[in-house]
Chain A
Amino acid sequence: MVTTENKIEQRSMMAHLMRRAGFGATQKELDTLETLDYEDVVDELLKPGQSNHMSDELILRYHTEVHEQRVGPWSAKQWLYRMVTTDTPIVEKIALFWHGIFATGYAKTNQARALMVQIDMFRKYGLGKFDILLEELAKDPAMIIWLDNQDNHKGAINENFGREILELFSMGIGNYTEDDIKECSRAFTGWTLKNAEYMSVRAMKDSIWPYGRISWHYEYRDSDHDSGPKTFLGETGNFNGGDIVGIISKQRAAAEFISRHLYDFFVADEVPVPQWPYTPPRDPEAIKLLSDVYIANNHDLTEVLRVLLKSDFFREARFERVKCPVEYVAGCLRVSNIVERPTLLMNDAVSVMEYMGQSLLNPPSVEGWHEGKEWINSGSIVERVNFAYDVWHNSESPEVKDVTDRLASRGTLDSLDAVEECLDFMGPLLFTEETAKQAIVDHVAKQGVIKFGDQNSDVREKAENRISEILALIASSKEYQRC
């Protein structure tokens, strides 16, 4: 029998799942989700199939600059639209996950087209087998430029990619030697760009016309590849890059490294990555479980994520992460449901993520962003609160109207009930301190009970405005900074 308590818990858990595996859910979406079996929902999420989202053609008609794919923030805007409007948010979430780890930035590539190609690659391979993803990464033109692999030649290696693939992309410090880095770099010689010479001519003219930045293509040059024998992580052979990726992917260290990243991004904030070699995981058993699943399922990331999302440690970890600016901004826009068509608001939304410390498509370095608590400082908190307050204090938001309609059946609502209901809609969120809730209640009470009146009446309009203010205040709370 489904009890009321079970139903509330079911809705709460679905909201949690959608915040983590996506960018949050509207009340209407939760109405459907709460009737479904949790494990079935996870299984469905993990076979996203074809995405439906606001069409790029429509976006380009309003934001003509996006078409050039030249400047980081312009293309970031296109990605943000995708996050806010897609019906397969997990695809964008996983792309964001890899973007944070395989952090490639506009600062050096100096073109956004190649970065968007890389993000597309994450969409396509990000939930697949890790070996394949890593090999695609090594062939990705933006990554080649970002870590100088076009300068990695037979007889004259450049270790940049060879080092980072081990340190930052797959295993972490302490699991390989300096010799392994050299051998790994040798194996990736000849993995370069096809049109490097043409690009360099174009770059000298610094020309972006007529089609914006040109496409970059991967090319394998056998003549520049060092095909000699190599010893890598204890194995010896005439390894090429693909062999190296295979050896890396089967290491327990890789299983644990990826598991810890998944835990950090989907379950609960870990300490910053540079401390991982010295600080045990927050939940060592969870990491062990996920690593075992990774090994047992031939490095299939979907299977790891399936176990993660169905686990008790995931279900219990509510509000254990500080929202990154992208989650915060995309979440506000998606759940308030205000981006029904292209809007200039998106220009501000992209800038504001940057003011909050996360410039999408332009991470500060190959180490990605410092996440968790480090997102918060006295400058970023002002930006976060002001943005969320303005998005939610908007009675034109379809979600605000929907929430108001749901409450209207109550006839009138006193301020305590109104605030408690709204806390449920916004999370459900539990304020740590009773005084925090009381502050909103007292504020709302100044204007008396909330009357709803009839649809489209002045009374209803006033109610929408008052409800939107409550939602906006909740969105300004410290609890809402987490997900």
Chain B
Amino acid sequence: MAEIKDKKLVVVQLSGGNDALNTVIPYNDENYYDNRPQVHIDPEKALKLDSELAMNPSMTAIKRLWDEGKVAVLNGVGYPDPNRSHFRSMDIWHTAEPTKVLTEGWIGRALRDLDPKGDNVLGGINFGRGLPRAMSCPGVPVASVGDLDTYGLFPSVSNASDRNDILNVFSQMYGRGDGRDMVSEFLSQTGEDAMVGADILSEAPAKYSSSVEYAANPLASSLRDAARVMFADVGTRFFYTQHGSFDTHGGELPVHSKLWEDVSSSIGDFMDDVREHGHAESTAILVFSEFGRRIKDNGSGTDHGSGGVAFLIGDSVKGGMYGRYPSLKQNDQLNGDLYANNDFRSLYTNILEEWFDLDPVSIVNGTFEKFDIFE
């Protein structure tokens, strides 16, 4: 019998505001072509999902997964009173709170609930430098990996034995003694967590072998790093990465198409890899962006709007359309934008409750109607 694995979520953030209308395209709606005289997708080339909607032609790998019934498309995702600032809207998605400014992230809180003592220093890992606010929560250890092959302390020390010596010094400098005060104790603990995490991660690349050859783009590298960590079974539950910039104010068509080529091929490769390594049933991929773009094009691109599209992909996902596709009719618009009729916190609620078996209310700051996306 196959071993039952912990469930994992891989988040792919599309930074900059992905144009939902040119991602999942209402190809039979004349309003689409009326509003997008310049910046529309040729309906002949779009990848048809049903009689109304089609995917961007560059999303071939995701379309393949759709045909297998493994892609949930969440239409019209957003929150009330949309904010069109990249940073603020991203913060809203990260903190699951549209009205108040919060600093704790939803994943950080989920990690705290999964592992209240912070025993596993690798419960959440961001692939890329810095820490997305989604993962930030006091007392929750998280790692941020720019490049798995060089990740850790003192990467500039190239000689392995020198680096070992220095790591040994570091370990003793951060070792817990009497501690001058609480801050000193905290620094010790954090330094130790960082080192333990880096130590464990340093072994992941050697353990990995795969027949999958990933596409050549930064997202594919990050997802390959995520796969290598995942297959090393170090107890990571949340993997985070981002790709962009989707901020296509000008020259949208070629740029947007290339971006989705990157995202789609990387996710396709990643899915092949998790299937090859027996993690497919226990892995779900969430793809989201901070907002969609305006219904009307501006001649060569599109400006900041609201009402986006999100995807949940995986072998335990019930593929299909979730949520009504927002109407493009003049009277149904929200100041020229798609009206978001699905709150993103419903999606989070679903993930937290069904996938991670957590109480979602305190994490998403309220009770939301939930989708039913998982098998």
Contact surface of A with B, Cβ cutoff 8 Å: 105-108, 110, 206, 269, 322, 351, 354-355, 357, 362, 364-367, 370, 372-374, 376-383, 385-386, 389-390, 393, 431-436, 438-440, 443, 446, 473, 476-478, 481-482
Contacts and interface: CB of A to CB of B under 8 A. Distances in A.
B278 interface: no
A433 B180 CA distance: 9
B101 interface: yes
B103 A386 contact: no
Contacts of A107: 85-88
B133 A364 contact: yes
Contacts of A106: 87
Nearest to B144: A379
B91 A364 contact: yes
Contact of A432 (B88, B154, B180): B180
Contacts of A367: 101
Given A365-B101, A367-B101, A377-B190, A386 B155 contact: yes
Interface in B73-93: 85-88, 91
Most A Cβ at <10 Å: residue of B166, B182, B303: B166
B87 A355 contact: no
B133 A443 contact: no
Contact of B170 (A378, A390, A446, A476): A476
Given A370-B103, A476-B173, A378 B129 contact: no
Given A378-B121, A386-B153, A390-B156, A206 B184 contact: no
Interface string B133-152: 10010100111100000001
A379 B191 CA distance: 10
B130 interface: yes
Nearest to B125: A379
B169 interface: yes
Contacts of A365: 91, 101, 103
B156 A377 contact: no
A326 B235 CA distance: 34
A400 to B, nearest CB: 16
Q: How large is the interface on B (under 10, 10 to 19, 20 to 34, 35 or more residues)?
A: 35 or more
Nearest to A477: B173
Given A373-B183, A377-B141, A385-B170, A435 B191 contact: no
Contacts of B126: 379
Listed residue (A382, A383, A476) with the most chain B CB atoms within 10 angstroms of its CB:
A382
Among A105, A366, A376, chain B packs the most CB atoms within 10 A around the CB of: A376
B194 interface: yes
A382 B168 contact: no
B183 A378 contact: no
B254 interface: no
A390 B158 CA distance: 12
Contact of B156 (A206, A372, A389): A389
B130 A432 contact: no
Nearest to A433: B177
Given A107-B88, A108-B85, A386 B177 contact: no
A381 B169 contact: no
B173 A378 contact: no
Interface string B276-320: 000000000000000000000000000100000000000000000
Nearest to B183: A373
A389 B156 CA distance: 9
Nearest to B175: A435
B239 to A, nearest CB: 14
Given A351-B129, A364-B91, A379-B131, 15 more contacts: A110-B85, A206-B303, A364-B103, A365-B103, A373-B182, A377-B131, A377-B136, A378-B121, A378-B194, A379-B142, A382-B153, A383-B144, A438-B172, A440-B169, A473-B173
B141 A378 contact: yes
B197 interface: yes
B154 A381 contact: no
